[in-house]
Amino acid sequence: MDLRAYLSVSKRRKAVEENIGVDLSNIGKYSISEELASSKNCENMIGTIQVPLGIAGPLKVQFCNAESKFKVQSCYIPLATTEGALVASVARGCKAITLSGGATVVSQKIGITRAPVFVVENILDGKKFVDWVYANMSQLKKIVESSSSHLHLLAVKPTSMGRNVYLRFRFDSEDAMGMNMATIAVTKVAEFIKGKIQVRCVAVSGNMCVDKKPNFLNFITGRGYSVSAEALIPQKIVNSVLKTNISDIVEVGQRKLMYGSLLSGSIGANAHFANILAATFISTGQDVAHVGECCVGITTVETLKGNLYVSVYLPDLVVGTVGGGTALETQKEALSIMGIVGGNSGRNARKLAEIIGGAILAGEVSLLASLAEGSLASAHQKLGRGAK
Amino acid sequence: MDLRAYLSVSKRRKAVEENIGVDLSNIGKYSISEELASSKNCENMIGTIQVPLGIAGPLKVQFCNAESKFKVQSCYIPLATTEGALVASVARGCKAITLSGGATVVSQKIGITRAPVFVVENILDGKKFVDWVYANMSQLKKIVESSSSHLHLLAVKPTSMGRNVYLRFRFDSEDAMGMNMATIAVTKVAEFIKGKIQVRCVAVSGNMCVDKKPNFLNFITGRGYSVSAEALIPQKIVNSVLKTNISDIVEVGQRKLMYGSLLSGSIGANAHFANILAATFISTGQDVAHVGECCVGITTVETLKGNLYVSVYLPDLVVGTVGGGTALETQKEALSIMGIVGGNSGRNARKLAEIIGGAILAGEVSLLASLAEGSLASAHQKLGRGAK
Amino acid sequence: MDLRAYLSVSKRRKAVEENIGVDLSNIGKYSISEELASSKNCENMIGTIQVPLGIAGPLKVQFCNAESKFKVQSCYIPLATTEGALVASVARGCKAITLSGGATVVSQKIGITRAPVFVVENILDGKKFVDWVYANMSQLKKIVESSSSHLHLLAVKPTSMGRNVYLRFRFDSEDAMGMNMATIAVTKVAEFIKGKIQVRCVAVSGNMCVDKKPNFLNFITGRGYSVSAEALIPQKIVNSVLKTNISDIVEVGQRKLMYGSLLSGSIGANAHFANILAATFISTGQDVAHVGECCVGITTVETLKGNLYVSVYLPDLVVGTVGGGTALETQKEALSIMGIVGGNSGRNARKLAEIIGGAILAGEVSLLASLAEGSLASAHQKLGRGAK
Amino acid sequence: MDLRAYLSVSKRRKAVEENIGVDLSNIGKYSISEELASSKNCENMIGTIQVPLGIAGPLKVQFCNAESKFKVQSCYIPLATTEGALVASVARGCKAITLSGGATVVSQKIGITRAPVFVVENILDGKKFVDWVYANMSQLKKIVESSSSHLHLLAVKPTSMGRNVYLRFRFDSEDAMGMNMATIAVTKVAEFIKGKIQVRCVAVSGNMCVDKKPNFLNFITGRGYSVSAEALIPQKIVNSVLKTNISDIVEVGQRKLMYGSLLSGSIGANAHFANILAATFISTGQDVAHVGECCVGITTVETLKGNLYVSVYLPDLVVGTVGGGTALETQKEALSIMGIVGGNSGRNARKLAEIIGGAILAGEVSLLASLAEGSLASAHQKLGRGAK
């Protein structure tokens, strides 16, 4: 069966059904544009997978960047998941935070990165190459920016080791996640370099980007957006909504998040960033493989003047509201719930990052409380197994 | 808007549409069982997200466990993704490998893990507690196995630090991924311990499990399945199918995978395990957040007797064919393409892990070749941007 | 100047003096046995470096292994260092701990490790090789133990990846650190394997040992001895001896040790294990390069019933009281201060590990207090710069 | 026995001898200045430890910084060690490299760092604090530089997480290692900040410095000096001096350094940087605890035009030629062998870093060759055990 031989989604699906002897009728029922999806998002398309979409919120968020003017807003969070209890858990966290006055979210644009690796004859040639790059930066910037009107070169960071030189390009890609634009731009730059000074690019991605792999470089120096969120939850809301008390949550924070993460050699220390990332990434058409690098932040928990203070720190949050799967109908509708469909001079992507930061804060608050209370198993039994 | 107040998916969706002022009509078009999804997989459900499903293959795989009797089989791989070029890339890798005689895959069951953290008075009490655990192992095993007929205790590994004791329970959960079963069982064990010797469990998960966070503990000691896959690709297939040559791929392997991953402080060294994991996890109803921990293996590339030898190593692959989202109609149909729907004494989950291992090998072969050829940008431009 | 041509230490030193035009008269003044040092410890010997030796203590320690019968003992700690303030700092920690009733120390023998790497044709051959190793374990044990009467094979842990198989041998080497004995034994085993089944050893050390490099494998699974030490210090001693208060020390523990170590991607989380390790390793003739792997543990600080609870966790402490530099006169005298000269069925090496654990606890207590008080700079100014 | 009560080294030593019942006569025989050592380097001094000093070389080095004008020079390397075979091994590496035309060494001053941690009320206050720091940078620079004429502020890198703000100060400390100067300067800065804007410094070191702990922050962003060294060794010298062949060394490089280091979760990938660091740090009066952070670089090995190309990369090399133990007589004599005693506008410390880089290259070449040849065990048997 040559899958590429079939010219339509339905013919290809039919061929799979007949060839393998299976019924793919639900995969065949979809409403998103087949033309769009099969030409831009997915080769050899045979239909779609339907992922249940739940909604959590409202989550009161104070957005603290200059453009948002510290506006406070109620947000709803679309979560596509098959893991019972997840939406309920985030929803509970949203409730506790909102009743406490809301989450404060701060973000910083780091930018998308791409780091080609070049090979030189020896370390002195590597030094000369790096010097040349610095001397020709404005030219490289021109080449980058000629490749797309939405891509802006922010910086280039070189690393030389032996005969290898890595140039980590960092870009502002406005509302796009920007990985493809970055790859195209860097390819042009590599061609220019080869033409000018005969330095050969071994691979346009040299694993110093770092794209879709958990790593300390992104964790320490950032990628995409660096997002922080926090909430201050009074004792009585900890009791009434979270069904536990501050000191128990703080102890979980210490013995699980801090000691447990250090002992297990984790990058960062959190409870379940990955859950909220996966669910929001699927719902909003992000590249879900980015969960691998984005899930590495830190959650802090402490008592502050009799209240529970909780913060989350996400140094590597790679998202966009244009490109990738964001134009698919269901994904676009999910983005519309947050009011951030399409491009908006970078504001929409930033807001998506910030809302995800707030949602992750809600998720951490709720799971830590559940662990402190000792109710994790029963919640999963009730919700994940369909008991009423 | 109190989302929990709405008793049906459609009423809740309608409320969201009216309250926020958006149109969620595509989210409202789905064919999967609302009753199942809303009761077991997703609270506050308002519909589904449709993720394009492509198919790659055939991939010839030799399954090398005792039960499979080293059977060779042609596999098709369902990939749910919005990232243009991914399916085409995996498909190309499948072609190169299959023409070369196929992939060999070996797996080892490590088992799902859950590690509660207990607090003791001091390190001597910690030592006594650990001694007690060893002395009462058969009793603990009984408690675990009374919680589910599909859960079998394989081992308990204690770690004591200061006043903290972590017990990392490792289970065989047959065809289920098993995280929820493990949590329930460990909760019972913790209750038993408290009743018997008054040692308090601070949290049923002490971040030594480690669930859904990238970490060196799982990478080094394994979790779920440890899977290895390899292929030996002759020079002429490297030229004709992969459009490049062996030495260029080997150089990319060295300067990108090895040096780049070491310099960036990555866990392991690979090109894009996360892409294939995300796409197969979505298509088959896995818990997609597991991408965060599962994407940490190593790819090796070398010349062997004039051929290209490529291997992938995945020490932490957490999957199942029952539970989670595996029963949803589209996900079940995707599983049916691989012939592994439902429970089968652990054989189906193992086979899923092994097929994913093979698919990841195909993905690595193709991306490394693309980087060696210098065609990554153009492939993405052509496929990801809809050019004819 | 061919340094090997000179047949005595003094002639070689003289040659260096004349050839380079320097005066090495202090290097030439030493009392240790030239014959011993130049034949066993140091090739091309030209003299010695004199490292100032200070002494801290008494430190009251409860040794909690079966053999020591939980004996409490006052220990003095010999510290060879050129870093002003270090001895004073450890001494202050000893005083605070001893006045509080002493340190409790628990240790576990993990054993010295050596992990050769073998190359096989493919992963199936790797699997067969590992099966063969398990099947022939008693034979391998015999070979190991025929190489030295002081070396006992505890376990072999295989790791297969692609065409590579690592066998991590773990040994009890009694009172010797044991690295050389282990290398010799593993070399014999590798020769046996080659003779029997033609599997080639690429390197007798495959960096999975791991010797003298900071790594998560040793941190997580241990090497040498795993040592824990703790103390409970009442508020009034924190005030009078440590010149600060419990809550400030606990805050330093949190914001420095926990958050700072996580943010910087450290292996473990401590203040200055390396200082005490370096000073005790030099004084007692250890292989000082082991500081690189041994300095990776965790310090915990918490309030417990109104007292300050502090613990240290050292999963990778590699020491010995025979072999290496332990027989040199000054080093032997330093060991004699602790009453652990030479071999004693493993008891002396264990006790050295335990005393170092206690000394590290003292060092952590004192430095954390100094940071909490804000006196680090002034202490260094006073002691490190010679002010009266 | 109150050790502080004794007013002279000899009285204190005598007290220890009598109190414990031991003979410390060799510890009591030393030639270094007791007054200097006991007032600046070591409290409670009772004598010295004598560490055998060997010498390796000549090593031909091309120093490639602007000041050295690419001068080529023959260097001798003083190695203080008790590990038999180490000096011989480095010496062999020096010979192979020198016969091949010498090592090329490139270095970059990163600077010594100190990172205090401050606590703020919330993340918005943290943002304001960081803004204030940037706005007041010239004032902070003035405070730093008023604390010492040898300390120059290069940069401040802030990291905010939750209520915590870390300011990583990076300094040029000329020929001093500089840690104490940096601590004093940062203490003054923290006092100024407290006086000006009431932001409280929790600890003058917040473990983001990172001093003396292995970590990815220093590995990735550097500390002290970043040093690279390389050599190109012809086949015939590999055969004649290193007793093996290029392909075997390259295979060891791959299966041990690359795969083994990745599998063990090492920071970087090398054979034994720590050995040469420990030996040169002891001989030249460095703070030996820095071995813990400095030993984390990468060694690369490849075939280049029929030759063996080897490089080492040390991103975190913290050394000085003034301060610490550098003024002690034996240490100063060791520095004189390299012609770098005392201060010289930063040139001496840089040269020390570069020579150590070259010595580490020699050590790697020799050990990798020894592993490739299979002679590691026999070398240690012959040299480490005193056989003629």
Mean pLDDT of chain A: 96
One of A125, A152, A248, A380 is an active-site residue; which one?
A380
Q: What is the pLDDT, as a whole number, of residue A384?
A: 58
Q: What is the pLDDT, as a whole number, of residue C212?
A: 98
Q: Tell me whether A122 touches chain C (CB under 8 Å).
A: no
The larger pLDDT score, comparing residue B301 to residue A378, is at B301
One of B125, B248, B333, B380 is an active-site residue; which one?
B380
Q: What is the pLDDT, as a whole number, of residue A69?
A: 78
pLDDT at B152 over 80: yes
Q: Tell me whether C307 touches chain B (CB under 8 Å).
A: no
Nearest to D260 among C206, C252, C374 (CB): C206
Mean pLDDT of chain B: 96
Alpha-carbon dihedral sign for residues D89, D90, D91, D96: positive
Angle at A268 between CA C225 and CA D214, to 5 degrees: 45
Distance from CA of D216 to the nearest CA of A (A): 7
Query: Which chain D residue is nearest to residue B313, measuring alpha carbons?
Result: D263
Average pLDDT over residues A260-281: 98
Q: Tell me whether B161 touches chain C (CB under 8 Å).
A: yes
* 8 A C-beta contact, residue B289 and residue A278: yes
Query: Which two tokens mark A299?
Result: 């959650």
ipTM exceeding cut-off 0.90 for this assembly:
yes
Which residues in chain A are contacts of D164 at CB distance < 8 A? 300
pLDDT at B7 over 90: no
pLDDT at C216 over 50: yes
Q: What is the pLDDT, as a whole number, of residue C89?
A: 98
Instruction: With CB atoms and an 8 Å threshold, state whether A302 touches C269.
Output: no
Instruction: With CB atoms and an 8 Å threshold, state whether B298 touches D263.
Output: yes
Q: Number of H helices and number of E strands within chain D?
A: 15, 10
What is the share, in percent, of chain D residues with pLDDT greater than 70? 98
pLDDT at D388 over 60: no
| Contacts for B145 with CB less than 8 Å, ≥ 6 apart | B151, B152, B153
One of B287, B293, B316, B354 is an active-site residue; which one?
B287
Nearest to C84 among D40, D78, D166 (CB): D40
Strand B103-114, strand B223-234: pairing: antiparallel
* 8 A C-beta contact, residue D12 and residue C55: yes
The per-residue pLDDT for range D251-292, each reduced to its tens digit, is 999 999 999 999 999 999 999 999 999 999 999 999 999 999
| CB burial string B113-143: b at 16+ within 10 A, e below | bbbbbbbbebbbbbbebbeebeebeeebeeb
pLDDT confidence band for C384 (50 / 70 / 90): low
Distance from CA of B329 to the nearest CA of C (A): 37
Which residues in chain D are contacts of C1 at CB distance < 8 A? 58
Q: What is the pLDDT, as a whole number, of residue C377?
A: 74
What is the share, in percent, of chain C residues with pLDDT greater than 90? 93
Q: How far, in Å, CA of D222 to CA of B32, rounded?
A: 54
* 8 A C-beta contact, residue D224 and residue D111: yes
Distance from CA of D233 to the nearest CA of A (A): 13
pLDDT at D346 over 60: yes
| Contacts for C175 with CB less than 8 Å, ≥ 6 apart | C150, C320, C321, C322, C342, C343, C344, C345, C346, C347, C348, C349
The larger pLDDT score, comparing residue A244 to residue D3, is at A244
Query: Which two tokens mark D370?
Result: 């020894």
What is the share, in percent, of chain A residues with pLDDT greater than 90? 93
The per-residue pLDDT for range D297-341, each reduced to its tens digit, is 999 999 999 999 999 999 999 999 999 999 999 999 999 999 999
The per-residue pLDDT for range A153-177, each reduced to its tens digit, is 999 999 999 999 999 999 999 999 9
Average pLDDT over residues A241-252: 97
DSSP E strands, chain B: 45-63, 72-80, 103-114, 117-119, 152-161, 164-172, 200-203, 223-234, 298-304, 307-317
Consecutive H or E run containing A191: helix A179-197
pLDDT confidence band for B386 (50 / 70 / 90): very low
Query: Which two tokens mark B188?
Result: 């019972």
Q: What is the pLDDT, as a whole number, of residue C387?
A: 37
Q: What is the pLDDT, as a whole number, of residue D69?
A: 78
The per-residue pLDDT for range D57-75, each reduced to its tens digit, is 999 999 998 777 789 999 9
Average pLDDT over residues C45-67: 95
Nearest to D162 among A160, A219, A300 (CB): A300
Mean pLDDT of chain C: 96
pLDDT at C111 over 60: yes
Q: What is the pLDDT, as a whole number, of residue D387?
A: 37
The per-residue pLDDT for range D360-370, each reduced to its tens digit, is 999 999 999 99
* 8 A C-beta contact, residue A305 and residue A351: no
Question: % helix / strand / coil in chain D, to the nearest 5?
Answer: 45, 25, 30
Q: How far, in Å, CA of A199 to CA of A191, rounded?
A: 9
Instruction: With CB atoms and an 8 Å threshold, state whether D219 touches B265.
Output: yes
The per-residue pLDDT for range A123-156, each reduced to its tens digit, is 999 999 999 999 999 999 999 999 999 999 999 9
Distance from CA of D183 to the nearest CA of C (A): 6
Q: Tell me whether A245 touches chain D (CB under 8 Å).
A: no
The per-residue pLDDT for range D180-227, each reduced to its tens digit, is 999 999 999 999 999 999 999 999 999 999 999 999 999 999 999 999
Q: Tell me whether A183 touches chain B (CB under 8 Å).
A: yes
pTM strictly above 0.90: yes
Average pLDDT over residues C103-120: 98
- If one counts every other C-beta atom within 10 angstroms of the C-beta of residue C261, the result is 27
Q: Tell me whether C325 touches chain A (CB under 8 Å).
A: no
Residue B210: which of C263, C266, C220, C270 has the closest Cα?
Answer: C220
The per-residue pLDDT for range B157-203, each reduced to its tens digit, is 999 999 999 999 999 999 999 999 999 999 999 999 999 999 999 99
The larger pLDDT score, comparing residue D374 to residue A276, is at A276
Residue C143: which of C96, C192, C95, C179 has the closest Cα?
Answer: C192
pLDDT confidence band for A324 (50 / 70 / 90): very high
Q: Tell me whether D66 touches chain B (CB under 8 Å).
A: no
Which residues in chain A are contacts of B186 at CB distance < 8 A? 377
**CA dist D376 → C185, D196, D369 (Å):** 12, 61, 9
Q: Tell me whether B262 touches chain D (CB under 8 Å).
A: yes
Q: How far, in Å, CA of A248 to CA of A257, rounded?
A: 13
Nearest to C52 among D37, D252, D336 (CB): D37
One of C172, C302, C333, C380 is an active-site residue; which one?
C380
Give me the residue label for tokens 């650990």. B130
Query: Is residue C380 among the annotated active site residues?
Result: yes
Q: How far, in Å, CA of D362 to CA of D350, rounded?
A: 19
pLDDT confidence band for D384 (50 / 70 / 90): low
Query: Is residue D287 among the annotated active site residues?
Result: yes
DSSP E strands, D12-67: 45-63
One of D287, D293, D316, D364 is an active-site residue; which one?
D287
**CA dist C271 → C103, C366, D206 (Å):** 18, 10, 9
Instruction: With CB atoms and an 8 Å threshold, state whether A258 touches C263.
Output: no
pLDDT confidence band for A388 (50 / 70 / 90): very low
Instruction: With CB atoms and an 8 Å threshold, state whether B162 touches C232.
Output: no
Give me the residue label for tokens 């440590």. C242
Nearest to C331 among D23, D49, D283 (CB): D49
pLDDT confidence band for C330 (50 / 70 / 90): very high
* 8 A C-beta contact, residue B30 and residue B47: yes
Q: Tell me whether C300 touches chain B (CB under 8 Å).
A: yes
What is the share, in percent, of chain A residues with pLDDT greater than 70? 98
Average pLDDT over residues B17-38: 97
Query: Is residue B121 among the annotated active site residues?
Result: no
DSSP C328: S
Burial of B242 (0-12, 13-18, 19+ CB in 10 A): buried
**Interface size, chain A vs chain D, as Cβ–Cβ contacts under 8 Å:** 85
Instruction: With CB atoms and an 8 Å threshold, state whether A302 touches D161.
Output: no
Q: Tell me whether C382 touches chain B (CB under 8 Å).
A: no
Q: What is the pLDDT, as a whole number, of residue B384?
A: 58
Query: Which two tokens mark D45?
Result: 């001094």
The per-residue pLDDT for range C256-307, each reduced to its tens digit, is 999 999 999 999 999 999 999 999 999 999 999 999 999 999 999 999 999 9
pLDDT at B358 over 50: yes
